Amino acid sequence: MELFRILAAILHLGNVRIQSSGRDGERCSVNAEDRSLHLFCQLLAVERSQMAHWLCHRRLAVAGEMLVKPMGWQQACEARDALSKHVYGQLFTWTVGRLNGALQAQRRQPHSFIGVLDIYGFETFEKNSFEQFCINYANEKLQQQFNRHVFQLEQEEYLREEIPWTRIEFSDNQPCIELIEGKLGVLDLLDEECRMPRGSDESWAQKLYERHQNQNPHFSKPRLSNTAFIILHFADTVQYECDGFLDKNRDTVFEEPINILKASKSELVAELFQESGGDGPPLPGVTTAVPNGSLRSSRKGGSTARREHKQTVGFQFRQSLQLLMGTLNSTTPHYVRCIKPNDLKQPFLFDPKRAVQQLRACGVLETIRISAAGYPSRWTYPEFFKRYRVMMQCRDPGLEDRQAACRAALGSLIPDRDQYRFGKTKIFFRAGQVALLEKLRASRLRAACVEVQRRVRGWLERKRYQHTRQAALTLQNYTRGWLARRLAHSLRYTRAALVLQKSYRMVQVRRLYLLIRSAAVTIQAFARGALARCLYRQLRAERKAVLLQARVRGWSARRSFLRVRGAVLYLQCCYRRMRARRELKQRRMEARSVEHYRQLNKGMEVKLMQLQRRADEQSRESSLLKERLSQERAAHCTELARLQGELSRLAGSVQDEARSTALAQELSALRGEREREREEQRSAERREAQEISRLTQAVESLQREKAALIQEREKLNTSLQEHERAREERLSQQVALVSSGLRAELEEERGRYQGLLKEFSRLEQRYENLKDEMTFSEKFLGHRRNASSQSLILDISPPIPAGSSEREARTSVTSPERQRRVTVTSPELERRVTMTSPERVRRVTVTSPSSPIATSPADSLLKAVGLFKDGRMREEDLRHAYDAVRVANKFLESQLVSQRQQWDSEMEALRLQVGAQREEVDRQSQALAHTLTLPPETSLQLGLQEQLAHLAADNLELMEQVESQEQVSRRLRRELHSLKQAGWGSAGPARGMEVLSGGNAMPAPHKEAKLQGLLECRREDEARLIKNLITGLRPEVTRTLTPGLPAHILFLCMRQADWRGEEQRARALCTATVTAIKGALKKHSDDFELAAFWLSNTCLLMHLLRQFSPGESSQTDEQTLLTFDPSDLRKALSDLSIQTYQQLIRIAESRLQPMIVPAMLESETIPGLSSGGKSLGSHKRAASGAREKGEGVQPHTMDSLLRELSSLHHTLSHQALHPEVCRQAFRQISHLLTATTLNNLLLRKDMCSWSKGLQIRYNVSQLEDWLRGRSLQLGGAVDSLEPLIQAAQLLQVSKRSESDARAIEETCTALSPPQIVKILSLYTPLNEFEERVTLNFIRSVQALLNERPGGKARQLLMDVRHVFPVTFPPSLSPSPSQQPEQLQIPDSLNLAFLRRV
């Protein structure tokens, strides 16, 4: 649809009416309400006012200034027509490129093609111009090729076949062609005249007369004209008028309308005019369309970039014709001559003279003459034998016998031997002889056909008779049976009718009865139901009223009760929670200490000690008893021995019996006492043994209880550790979940912001066009232009305090960025100009010495925008123009500013939240782990240490606040020092230093000692610095520079300006740097190396500003920091870095896009893999194209793709770009490779096979090895290849059973369900050993995929244009060689005016 819109716009552009104005037609204009212009701009989505303006004006560069010059009516019409031709040519070139790209989707470069050439015939009118000259020139070349093909080749074939032949001479038109395209021919003289500054058609005609008149028989001059010439063509003599030849040959297209079309909202129109190279090699034999006309640029430095567009139409036509003739000479042409029956375009009207003239012009009469004199019809011997074998007598002869048979047959068929000739391989016939042979062949075939028809018709009649007889017998049988069945059917029908009548009458009567009965029952039911419903409604209303009252009263009572109970419960919960926290904290502290376990076991230890003491006492008592027993035994033994001695002595003497009797009694008494002591001793031992066993049991029970307590303590410790571990895991999971969500939102916001930056770069082009239009409207309305030394300054400042001096008021100027943004079209200016409050002072001054003083708001506004009051200008026009430009600028500025502010605030809040949570989690986890590993005795010491650490951290924060306040005070002192230096004026720096050293200000030698190696650039040399270092830097010079050298030079100049107290100058230098880098990138929009160079320098400059910022720097010496906050400058540099990165990715994609499909899909890195699957047709095409193998363009392979990637990586590494940025860039490139390859795989059935899957997997493995070899897999580049890897695996796995389907569903996680089903549907086996994928298997796989979460929401094709947002690392590692004192500036930069400080 877009193509038809553009074609319709071209037609409407041709209908735009250009009106002449002025005295001599030097000016022209286009009505802004022109319907054709409105439709043209609406179809192409461009600004109508700009197009109406630049159709009648052009821009000239004179003495370094840009001037807008109006064009005349004739020149404007020619420029309009040239623009139409240029748009049509661009559209044609784009269409041819797209068609060739679609046709080039085969596996190899095609070796042959079929082309159709349709061209106008020879033209001659009453007035012939440049168009008829080009068409007749093309016909001359085609006629020469036709003569060579028809006449010369025809006669050469007669001689090659050794047929007696007399050559026929024909007229050669080479002299006429030499006249047109030869050296100093018509086209050369025309191009030479077009290059002359004041060339004209008349001077070109005089040169033609001087060069070719009376020297070339094909050129002559008419008698009655000095601006025409005559050329004798092969068909006729044509007179050409020279008027308009030079303008049509130049066909100049101006740059301003092209810029308007570039800024079109239509993507196709903007794509047509992008300055980019070809997308790939063209098909062999297909010529590339040359752009119509030349694109004239009025800007500096554009001659080299667009030199190839300044070719004339004649030169382009000659080149295209040479390519066409080369193509025709390398092919086998066939000619179709079209003859117009009449020039009136009427039916059934034939003009013989006109037809003969066309036949003579086309060379048909010469062809007929050769055909009549020669042998137009020819047959090879095998073809003749095959065609006319029916007329020969031989059966199946060999090759030699066939020639003899053909010779013998012709002798009998054609008696006149002059009507044919026998060649080496062919038989040649004169006109009419082939028709005679065909007539004889037809008669022979007719006789044979009659005989065959006779036999076939007899057989058919016999078959027809037999069939008719059998059909008659069959019909009789069926008729008799049908009659019998009809009789039986009538009898059954009569019986059934009677039964139906009886049943129907019975049903009718019963239905009437049931109807009456149901009506009565229904009436009764409705009546009773109505009464019951009335009663029910009354009871329900009363019940609902009572229920509502009860519910409301209960609800109010419950609400009051719940409120009171909730308050009480809340208080109880708060109190209990406080008590529980205290108790939990105390118990945790007790659980970690040994004293707790001592208190738990204290009672048991007391009991154990008591039992031990009792056991000791019992043992001591038993030992005492044993000692006493042993003593008594010893005394008893001694006493017994004494008594026995005495008894023996008494018995021996037997002197006194009474005494012996007493002794015997005493002895028996002692024996009884001894027996009693033994009994007591045995009873004491038994009691002691019982007590010891009881104490032993008590000790064992205490030990068991102690073991149970120890085990319970271990269980409590284990559960506590598990609880803490589970809490830590939950906390880490929550933090990870929150972090992943925040990271996803951050990536989305970053992508949206970078998309807005891309849209902003497109809107800048439209903004420049609006500025150009505004500048033109200011100058076109008749107002005088300011001199180059004059400048317009709009000073809108707040009132100066009464106590401040004029010098301080001059120093408090706004920043350059603010001065740039405060223009007539900005919202801030509108707000300030329209303010009526006396607190604001409005002052509009023009720095020209002759500018008058504004006396009214209208005059002030006119002078502020560069206009002067004129009676011819209406205030309504000014108001409309002002409002239109103001609204456009409001939209452009507010959109980006609001987006930036929102993004910054969200980024800062998210960053702080994530950082705080991460720090808190890390601190708690570390403290918990450390506490669990330590013994309980040191837990109290750790608590004290943590409290001391908190106190130390608070002290450090207070010290940092004190230091920040000291930095603010020092900065204020430095500003005061700079203000004092500015106040001394011409006293010089030496005098200022003397005063500072004599006063109380801070001394400067220490700072000078630390800030060594700075570069000082004078204010008037800043433009030279920007030009030599940025805008005028050639790409070949950047290869010899040290990485980051421009960034270091610019930063040292900014630091020197900041050290001198010139903050505004430092900001202005940084702003000018950003603008100059944007201009350099726009100028070299296709240079990958230059884009990488400026991306590296921009990132380095942004890092240096961050490194030396007062609030964010980590340096300890505050005297080396900047005195102002460069956050806005870092923001501008960050936006510039993002735009440069996007341009870098766009250039890399344009270089890799033509190579992806041939390298990843079509190239055979594994040789001979797909040879077994070739069909016979492919073998034939390969055999027929083997001769042209060396003539085609070498296709892209995987090695060439890897070489291109290595070249890109080498460029990025050479510019010392941060590895993280390199990894992000190659992640984007990997996504492009995967998306393009997978999309082509999904759309091409010939690529879905087992061998192709193996080939793709091998190519992807090579790409993975390349990425890992350069450590690029860390940025996600290898992960981006996962869909392509899974697609290759899907082509290779088995596809038969349900287990295979489940394996595919589990393996292919990176592919969407539509992609898996599409690949399975397109799978095509290349040989008989493979099997096709059945429909049931595909359905089973689809059913499994539908069960996958989100299985039906994915799309088929991958988004090729998806852009990953880029993030730049917060810190870079500056090389030690780039210190300020060691910085070496090469002489090639021409920066000798910089002075080291």
Structure tokens at 785: 């232009």
H helices within 781-874, ranges in order?
806-811, 816-821, 827-833, 857-864
pLDDT tens, position by position, 745-764: 777 776 777 677 666 766 77
Structure tokens at 1340: 């089973």
Residue type at position 1328: E
Structure tokens at 1197: 């392979």
- Predicted pLDDT of residue 944: 55
Bridge partner residues of 70 (DSSP):
57
Question: What percent of the chain stands above pLDDT 90?
Answer: 14
Q: Work out the average pLDDT over 464-491.
A: 94
3-state helix, strand, coil in the chain (%, to 5): 70, 5, 25
pLDDT tens, position by position, 773-818: 676 665 544 444 343 333 333 333 333 333 333 333 333 333 333 3
pLDDT band at 548 (very low <50, low <70, confident <90, very high): very high
Structure tokens at 940: 């109290």
- Predicted pLDDT of residue 869: 41
CA distance 573 to 569: 6
CA distance 224 to 547: 120
CA distance 1227 to 618: 89
Grouping H, G, I as helix, E, B as strand and the rest as coil, residue 882 is helix
Tokens 């006119």 map to which residue? 862
Residue 543 pLDDT > 70: yes
- Predicted pLDDT of residue 550: 92
pLDDT band at 519 (very low <50, low <70, confident <90, very high): very high
> If you average pLDDT over every residue of the chain, what do you get?
76
Q: Which residues contact 854 (CB under 8 A, 6 or more apart)?
A: 844, 860, 863
Q: Is beta strand 237-241 parallel, antiparallel or unpaired with respect to 377-380? A: unpaired
Greatest extent of the chain over all pairs of C-alpha atoms, in Å: 212
Q: Are 1247 and 106 in contact (CB under 8 A)?
A: no
Q: Which residues contact 382 (CB under 8 A, 6 or more apart)?
A: 399, 402
- Predicted pLDDT of residue 498: 93
* Helix pair 201-212, 186-195: axis angle to 10 deg: 140
Structure tokens at 73: 């009516």
* Residue 498: other Cβ atoms inside 10 A: 9
Question: What percent of the chain stands above pLDDT 70?
Answer: 71
Among 1065, 1046, 1049, CA closest to 1124: 1065
- Predicted pLDDT of residue 852: 35
Higher pLDDT, 396 or 782: 396
CA distance 681 to 628: 10
- Predicted pLDDT of residue 1130: 85
- pTM for this structure? 0.40
Residue 601 pLDDT > 90: no
H/E element holding 294?
Answer: strand 294-296
CA distance 424 to 1237: 55
Burial of 889 (C-beta count, 10 Å sphere; 0-12/13-18/19+): buried
- Predicted pLDDT of residue 593: 59
3 state SS for 426-445? EEEECCCHHHHHHHHHHHHH
- Predicted pLDDT of residue 834: 36
- Predicted pLDDT of residue 770: 72
Three-point CA angle 1352, 1358, 1362, nearest 5°: 120
* Residue 1153: other Cβ atoms inside 10 A: 15
Tokens 């019975």 map to which residue? 506
In 318-435, at which residue ranges do the beta strands (DSSP E only) sit?
Answer: 377-380, 420-422, 426-429
Q: Are 1300 and 1293 in contact (CB under 8 A)?
A: yes
Structure tokens at 531: 């009464």
Higher pLDDT, 1172 or 361: 361
Bridge partner residues of 238 (DSSP):
231
CA distance 1293 to 1280: 22
pLDDT band at 526 (very low <50, low <70, confident <90, very high): very high
Residue 855 pLDDT > 80: no
Residue 982 pLDDT > 60: no
Residue type at position 989: P
Among 91, 88, 79, CA closest to 51: 79
Three-point CA angle 1281, 1283, 1287, nearest 5°: 115
Maximum mean pLDDT: which of 792-806, 967-981, 1172-1186, 1190-1204: 1190-1204
CA distance 547 to 554: 10
pLDDT band at 372 (very low <50, low <70, confident <90, very high): confident
Q: Is beta strand 294-296 parallel, antiparallel or unpaired with respect to 252-254? A: parallel
Q: Which residues contact 22 (CB under 8 A, 6 or more apart)?
A: 28
Weakest mean pLDDT among 164-173, 522-531, 849-858, 1309-1318:
849-858
The gap from C-alpha 86 to its chain's centroid, in whole angstroms, comes to 30
Q: Work out the average pLDDT over 623-651.
A: 75
CA distances from 1037 to 301, 303, 1385 (A): 17, 20, 13
Grouping H, G, I as helix, E, B as strand and the rest as coil, residue 59 is strand
CA distance 666 to 664: 5
CA distance 384 to 433: 13
Q: Are 234 and 227 in contact (CB under 8 A)?
A: no
pLDDT band at 58 (very low <50, low <70, confident <90, very high): confident
H/E element holding 241?
Answer: strand 237-241
pLDDT band at 356 (very low <50, low <70, confident <90, very high): confident
Q: Work out the average pLDDT over 984-1007.
A: 35
CA distance 71 to 79: 9
Q: Which residues contact 969 (CB under 8 A, 6 or more apart)?
A: none
CA distances from 1194 to 105, 602, 802, 1100, 1229 (A): 15, 95, 81, 41, 24
Q: Is beta strand 377-380 parallel, antiparallel or unpaired with respect to 252-254? A: unpaired
* Residue 471: other Cβ atoms inside 10 A: 10
- Predicted pLDDT of residue 570: 86
Residue type at position 827: P
pLDDT tens, position by position, 1368-1397: 887 654 443 456 666 778 888 888 888 877
CA distance 1057 to 958: 33
Weakest mean pLDDT among 113-117, 183-187, 1279-1283, 1377-1381:
1377-1381
Residue 890 pLDDT > 80: no
Among 225, 192, 232, 191, CA closest to 209: 225
- Predicted pLDDT of residue 290: 37
Higher pLDDT, 711 or 453: 453
Q: Work out the average pLDDT over 1357-1370.
A: 84
Residue 508 pLDDT > 90: yes
Weakest mean pLDDT among 209-213, 1179-1183, 1305-1309:
1179-1183
The gap from C-alpha 932 to its chain's centroid, in whole angstroms, comes to 51
CA distance 694 to 686: 12
Q: Are 113 and 286 in contact (CB under 8 A)?
A: yes
pLDDT tens, position by position, 268-314: 888 888 754 344 334 334 333 334 444 444 444 444 334 334 678 88
3 state SS for 760-776? HHHHHHHHHHHHHHHHH
CA distance 786 to 775: 12
Structure tokens at 912: 């702080």
Q: Are 76 and 57 in contact (CB under 8 A)?
A: no
In whole angstroms, how large is the CA radius of gyration of the chain? 55
Residue 957 pLDDT > 80: no
Structure tokens at 784: 């005088």
Alpha-carbon dihedral of residues 234, 240, 244, 250, nearest 10 degrees?
20
Residue 1037 pLDDT > 50: yes
Q: Work out the average pLDDT over 199-227.
A: 89
Among 1027, 1017, 1023, 1080, CA closest to 1054: 1017
Looking at residue 852, the DSSP 8-state letter turns out to be P
CA distance 1245 to 1324: 7
Bridge partner residues of 77 (DSSP):
none
Q: Which residues contact 1077 (CB under 8 A, 6 or more apart)?
A: 1030, 1094, 1097, 1098, 1136, 1140
CA distances from 1347 to 1062, 1286, 1302 (A): 68, 19, 12
Residue 408 pLDDT > 80: yes
- Predicted pLDDT of residue 847: 33
Expressed in angstroms, the distance from the first to the final Cα of the chain is 65
